[in-house]
Structure 1
Amino acid sequence: MTTNDIAERLLRAYVTREAIEPISSGPGVRTVDEAYAIQLAQVDRWRRDGRVVRGHKIGLTSAAMREQLGIDQPDYGHLFEDMFFTPGEPVPVGRFLQPRAEPEIAFVLSGDLAGPGLTVDDAAAAVGSVHAALEIIDSRIADWRIGLVDTIADNASSGGAVVAAEPLPVAATDLADVECVFRVDGEVVATGVGSDVSGTPLGALAWLANRLGELGHRLEAGHVVLSGSLTKAAGISAGNVVTADFPSLGSVRATFA
C-alpha cells in the first residue's frame, strides 16, 4: 500500500465518520519519515481544497501524554484556520470522531523560525505573545489504538483548538514554572506545570522549528503553535464544559455542544 493510498484512507475517514484500523498493523508504513509523508499528502490535498494553514501543534511533549498513549517521543501536525474556535463559542462535538481535550500553552509568532540549530532563546525571540489554550485531539484510528507512525500519519491526532484572546509577553513569566489546573464540568481532571512540556514550552517550540528545518520547512510569523499538553487528556462529549486555569497566564474555557 502506497503513501497516497494510506492518505486517502485517512481522508475518507473524515467524510465517512468511520475510524480505520491502525496503519502500523498493515503493510506500507514502518518509519517516521513515511508517516510524515502521509501527513503531508493530506496537507497538500487540504491546501488544494482551499484550506489555509494557520500553524502547528506539537504532540506528546509531556510524560503524562506519552504514558497515556504508549509513545516515547514528540511529534507535530498542521493546524488549519477552520480548526480554531473562539472562546465562548460552542464547539460541535459532531465534527470529531473520538475527541479528547487537553490544556496547553500557545504561542503566536512575531517572526519566522528556521532551524536546525535553534536554541530556546532563539525560539523565545520569535514569540509575539503567549496564550492559555485548549487543544481538541482526535483520532481517525479506531479506539485510539495508535503507535507513533499512526498518530504522525493522522496529522498528529489533531482536531481543533480554543486559544484565549488575552495575550501575555513571553518575558512576563517563566513558562517552566507556569502551573495549570485542568477541569471538566468543574471537577479537577489533572494538574501540571510548564516544565512538564519538554522542560519548558519554549523547548518544545525550538524542537519543532529544528525538526521542520531538517525537512526544509520553517515556522512563519503570525502562525500559532500549540506547545503540547501539560497533563493527560480527557475524553469529552456533548454538554461538557472544559477549563484550563493558569494562575500566571490566564484561563480558557470551551463548552461542547
Structure 2
Amino acid sequence: MSLAVSTPSDTEAAIARAFVEARRSGQAVTVYPGAIPASMEAAYAIQDQAIALWPDRIAGWKLGRIPSPFAERYGAGRLAGPIFADNVWPVTGAEMAFAAIPGGFAAVEAEYVLELGEAAPVRDDWTVAEAASLIATVRIGVEIAGSPFAGINDHGPTVTASDFGNNAGLFLGGEVADWRERLADLTCEVRIDGAVIGTGGAAMIPGGPIASLAFLLNTLTRRGRRLEAGQLISTGAATGVHAIAIGQSAVADFGADGRIACVAVAAGGAER
C-alpha cells in the first residue's frame, strides 16, 4: 500500500491556480493553462493543489469513465474529482437552477449516488463486495459536469482530472428503496428541452456503481486521502454525458425512484 502524495511542480501549481481563479470569477479559460499532464499522478497532483486552494470542504467525490485507448495508456478505467459541500444541492421537487460559465463547458449526467455510513479503513485492495459494506443509502442524483475550459474532455483524462474531474456540483435526490436487491436493474433517462437525449441505468456503469466506489477507495488511499462517513459518491454517468447550453432545461427521470429537473443559467445568475 502506498501513501505517497505527489508534490506539484511550479507548472502544476500554476495550472491549479488558473482553474480555481477562473471558477471563482465565472470566467472561461480559452486554452489549457500549461502543459498537458503526462500521467494520472500528475493530473491528481494538480487537482490536489486546487483542492487546497478552494475555500470549501469536500462533501464527496465523482467518478467518470476513461474510455479506450486512454484506459490502457493511463492504466485506469475511471477518474475521480471532488464535490464540494456548497455544490451539493438537495432537490426540492421544483426545477432548480445551476450556474454554467459562459464560454466554458457544462453537461448533465444522471447518476446513482452512494452515501457512506462509516469512514473507510485505509487500504488499497478494496473489492466490490467489501466496498458495499460501507454504503448506508443509495440516492438518485444529477451531476453537473462543468469547467471554465470548453475543451475539458477533448484532450484526454489527465486534462479532465486536473480540473476537479470536470465537476461543478451535484443535485441530490431521494433514496432508492431496497437498493441492495434492485441496484443492478435500475434504469433512467435524460431529456433536454423535452427531447430524450440518453437512456440507460446502473448497468451502463462498468462493473456497476459499487465498482466505482471500490476504485475510488483504492485511488484515494494512494493519494493519501480517505473517505469519511456521510460523504457522497456520484458513481458515473448512467445515460451518458449530455452537454447543455445556458437557458436549456434538463430532466433526469428515474421512474418510480423519482425525477430531477434543472435549468442552466449564466454564472452569477443562479438562485437556489
TM-score, normalised on structure 2?
0.81
Matched, 1:79 2:86: no
For 2:165, the equivalent position in structure 1 comes to: 156
RMSD: 2.3
C-alpha separation in 2, matches of 1:107 and 1:4: 31
What is the deviation of 1:71?
A: 4.7
For 1:121, the equivalent position in structure 2 comes to: 129
> Gaps (5+ residues) in structure 1?
none
Q: State the AA in 2 paired with 1:81.
A: A
Instruction: Within 5 Å, give how 1:233-244 maps onto structure 2.
Output: 233-244=241-252
> Using a 3 Å threshold, how does the CA distance of structure 1 residues 150 and 231 change in structure 2: closer, same or farther?
same
Of 78, 91, 100, 2:107 maps to 100
Matched, 1:18 2:25: no
After TM superposition, the structure 1 stretch with the greater mean CA deviation from structure 2, 85-94 or 156-165, is 85-94
Q: How many residues align?
A: 245
C-alpha separation in 2, matches of 1:142 and 1:255: 19
> Using a 3 Å threshold, how does the CA distance of structure 1 residues 230 and 94 change in structure 2: closer, same or farther?
closer
Matched, 1:55 2:65: no
Do 1:124 and 1:170's aligned partners in 2 also have CA atoms closer than 8 Å?
Answer: no
What is the deviation of 1:4?
A: 1.1
C-alpha separation in 2, matches of 1:16 and 1:249: 34
What is the deviation of 1:169?
A: 4.7
Q: Tell me which protein shows more helix as a share of its residues.
A: 1
After TM superposition, the structure 1 stretch with the greater mean CA deviation from structure 2, 121-130 or 6-15, is 6-15
C-alpha separation in 2, matches of 1:89 and 1:193: 22
C-alpha separation in 2, matches of 1:196 and 1:104: 11
Matched, 1:176 2:164: no
After TM superposition, the structure 1 stretch with the greater mean CA deviation from structure 2, 217-226 or 182-191, is 182-191
> Using a 3 Å threshold, how does the CA distance of structure 1 residues 210 and 249 change in structure 2: closer, same or farther?
farther
C-alpha separation in 1, matches of 2:36 and 2:138: 40
> Gaps (5+ residues) in structure 2?
1-9, 72-76, 266-272
Of 91, 96, 108, 1:90 maps to 96
Of 168, 175, 186, 2:194 maps to 186
Match of 2:105, SS state, is coil
The percent identity for this pair of structures is 27
What is the deviation of 1:16?
A: 5.6
